[in-house]
Structure 1
Amino acid sequence: MPPILVSRNDKYHGYGNGQSSKFVQNDAMLVIGLIREGKIPSDNRVALTPAQCKFLSKHYTDIQIKVQTATNRCYTDHEYEQAGIEITDDLSDCSLILGIKEIPVNQLIPNKRYMFFSHTKKMQPYNQLLMQAMVEKQITLIDYECLEHRDGQRIIGFGFFAGIVGAHNGIMAYGNRTGAYQLERVHHVKDYRHLIHTYFGLKLPPIKIAVIGSGRVAHGIVEVMNLMDAQEVEPEDYLTKKYEYPVYVQLKGNDLYRHKSTGKYSRDHFHANPDQYDCLFNQYIAHTTILMNGIYWSTEMPRLFTMNELASNRFGIQVARMAGMPISLINRANTILAQLEQQHVKEDGKERTGEILKQISTPQVQLSIFDAHSATFDSIRKMLTDIDINQLTPVEALMKLNEVKNLLK
């Protein structure tokens, strides 16, 4: 079911001339609530900054803003209080509730109007329960992804910055793996301007980077490549030439896919019939050091590479390879993450909601196989106590799981 948009009974008032930019019914006060992000893993972004809240409150007397208290937001509660904004834990009297990521089902307030990224426009199955809950609770969803200009271009999208963060983390991971250089994690940097400053003096080794896609995410990746002084090259040169400096190639649909029968590529036909196409990325594998993937993928689409290619000696991509990690462990970790994100698990053929966090919070059940005074338990307890989960990359988390597994042998 597609995201629910604004009902026909709602009015939209435009900008300027003292009018509020808002949805209002019966000219009542509009109370905007900024929700505390509840999705796991947590997100520290917020829809309105303290300065923006202060501006709205000052210039529009019929708008009131409330901020739900949070400890992991990029702006502290105190910064909002300094801007004159009320901090509360109760948003039940708000007319419009703003968030970023999907809101956990048990935190949805019936008969409210929400704005957030629901990740349902592409019929993502993992958010089906969320959509069903919103319909059941008579909630109106205004999905950021569905807000468009008259020409069809999206008004709001974080894809560009997602590409920036992903590209930075990929380059950072390569530096950590090889010891060639050091970069800070993105969430340690205050803003984009400060992030750019971290690239001053950075000298990348002569690596080859494949950037996949042509959308907003890919544009963000390319932005970082240029800031890091990596040089763009054509696909043919990427495959045939060696370089003494870092280079990247941007591979778009026409570079990556061919129809199985005609050998041609049509963007519209590909998106409608992806299963009729083969992927050509295989020829780039041996030449690529880092893969920056900026495309949406579904099970109907051809894969960039297979597990057999991943295990091959000619597979040159370093950052994507989880060396020494059993595939079964990686798959299990992916399953656990998916369950945590949905806060939903299937057990004995029945769907159960909100059970995983309860299971995690009962260590006496989860660790019942251990003697609390054993050396094994002490080792695992010390390892887990010393872990800062906010500092771990996915690969590092998997390696920690593997260490725990080895202790149990």
Structure 2
Amino acid sequence: MTQTHLWLRAESKPQEQRTALTPQSAKQLLEAGFKVTIESSRQSIFSLDEYQSSGVEIAAEGSWVNAPSNAIILALKELPEDKFPLSHQHIYFAHAYKEQEGWQALLNRFTQGQGKLLDLEYLVDNNNRRIAAFGYWAGFAGAALAVMAWVNQQAKVTPPLADINSYASQQILLKELSDSLAKSNKKPKVLVIGAKGRSGSGAVALAKALDLETIEWDIKETKKGGPFLEILTMDILVNCVFINEDLPPFITKELLDDDNRSLAIIADVSCDPYGSYNPLPIYHQCTTFKSPCISIIAGEKPLNLIAIDHLPSLLPKESSEDYGQQLVTHLLTLNDQSQGVWPKALDLFNNKTAAL
């Protein structure tokens, strides 16, 4: 039987320190009889020494293009832009199946090279629930940035956030936030919508770790339909709701035009400003670590909104370890792709490429 070969591609997206395969997960694969190759990386939160101690093979950054034909190329984020045909099996978040920009060109590269895409976003169980997700850490990071922005806003810092860098650990992040809050004469009241979901539970955990008054809403609290006047009485709103249908908006620009508004910071963890399902139709573009905030309302009572679509990158170590632990269980079944999550992922790829 041919040894299954997994090849970890170095991430090329700027500031992306996360990885789909941690040193601990690599060790599990090796112990199960897999061959594992790790590309050197200038960005990864984990050092090559951490991988080498488990006995993996090391390859140069970007050398996956010349990997053996049977190697399965694993990563998190998009491939570097290019035009050559793709001949390997690839596992990563391709962002192609919802007809995003460049989706046809990418899938054509797979058909030209007879490669396959097993998209991480569509690895689902029998209930169509994703088998691995970064949701908890997205919520945790989104709430953390919201608190950080709120403290700065109280100090009249404009913009309240800029040029954010990742943190080596959640302990360091929490200490910085605690120290900042200790200098403020009050603490914010936080509303988390979607509190029972993956990202919502992370947002709640962050708020409670800082001993903040935390209001948790989920389906029960939102079933009456928005807009919700109660949101105006909060200092921070963290939206973590996954929506796949049109709903009345949670807030509107007209609702925000209220002299008694306390709401000062919104963190939209769900971050879907481009679709029709956006429950916060007060903005129309995502933000970045370099420019995290959109000014919704200026003046004496400002309102700023954070909408970063890769929030778990704020805590690359914890988020990678959590995601890797979820994913490795399924990577261990790659030696038989007729089982588990792989047949459904391959069927989806074939259907999408057939429709080109």
Q: TM-score range by the shorter chain?
A: 0.5 to 0.7
Which residue in the other structure is 1:75 paired with? 46
8 Å CA contact 2:297–2:303 kept in 1: the answer is no
**In the alignment, residue 36 of structure 2 is paired with which amino acid?**
I
1:151 is aligned to 2:127:
yes
Structure 2 residue runs of 5 or longer lacking an equivalent are 218-227, 285-294, 308-356
Which residue in the other structure is 2:79 paired with? 103
Which residue in the other structure is 2:27 paired with? 54
SS of residue matched to 1:232: strand
Length-normalised TM-score, structure 2: 0.61
SS of residue matched to 1:65: strand
Deviations 1:53-102 (A, max 9, x none): 22322x223x1111111111111122222332221123311521110111
Sort the Cα spacing of 1:177 and 1:196 in 2 relative to 1 into closer, same or farther, 3 A.
closer
Sort the Cα spacing of 1:135 and 1:42 in 2 relative to 1 into closer, same or farther, 3 A.
farther
Sort the Cα spacing of 1:129 and 1:229 in 2 relative to 1 into closer, same or farther, 3 A.
farther
Deviations 1:200-244 (A, max 9, x none): 56446343555455653343323222222221348665546xxxx
1:44 is aligned to 2:17:
yes
Tell me the C-alpha RMSD between the 2 structures. 3.9
1:310 is aligned to 2:296:
yes
Structure 1 residue runs of 5 or longer lacking an equivalent are 1-26, 241-245, 254-266, 322-409
**Matching residue within 58, 61, 84 for 1:87:** 58
Which residue in the other structure is 2:92 paired with? 116
SS of residue matched to 1:226: helix
8 Å CA contact 2:6–2:72 kept in 1: the answer is yes
Length-normalised TM-score, structure 1: 0.54
8 Å CA contact 1:213–1:293 kept in 2: the answer is no
Deviations 1:303-349 (A, max 9, x none): 53269x9357586314669xxxxxxxxxxxxxxxxxxxxxxxxxxxx
8 Å CA contact 2:200–2:240 kept in 1: the answer is no
Deviations 1:14-58 (A, max 9, x none): xxxxxxxxxxxxx3111111101123x34111122223222322x
Q: Which residues in structure 2 correspond to 1:245-394 (within 5 Å)?
A: 248=236, 271-272=244-245, 274=246, 278-282=248-252, 283-284=255-256, 286-295=261-270, 296-301=272-277, 304-305=281-282, 310=296, 316-318=302-304
User: Between Structure 1 and Structure 2, how many residues are aligned?
Assistant: 268
8 Å CA contact 2:8–2:38 kept in 1: the answer is yes
SS of residue matched to 1:279: coil
Sort the Cα spacing of 1:131 and 1:210 in 2 relative to 1 into closer, same or farther, 3 A.
farther
Structure-1 separation of matches of 2:21 and 2:84: 20
Which residue in the other structure is 2:202 paired with? 220
8 Å CA contact 2:235–2:265 kept in 1: the answer is no
- Of structures 1 and 2, the larger Rg is shown by 1
Structure 1 residue 136: Cα displacement: 3.0
Structure-2 separation of matches of 1:193 and 1:52: 23
Sort the Cα spacing of 1:74 and 1:107 in 2 relative to 1 into closer, same or farther, 3 A.
farther
Sort the Cα spacing of 1:48 and 1:320 in 2 relative to 1 into closer, same or farther, 3 A.
closer
Structure-1 separation of matches of 2:20 and 2:83: 18
**In the alignment, residue 230 of structure 1 is paired with which amino acid?**
L
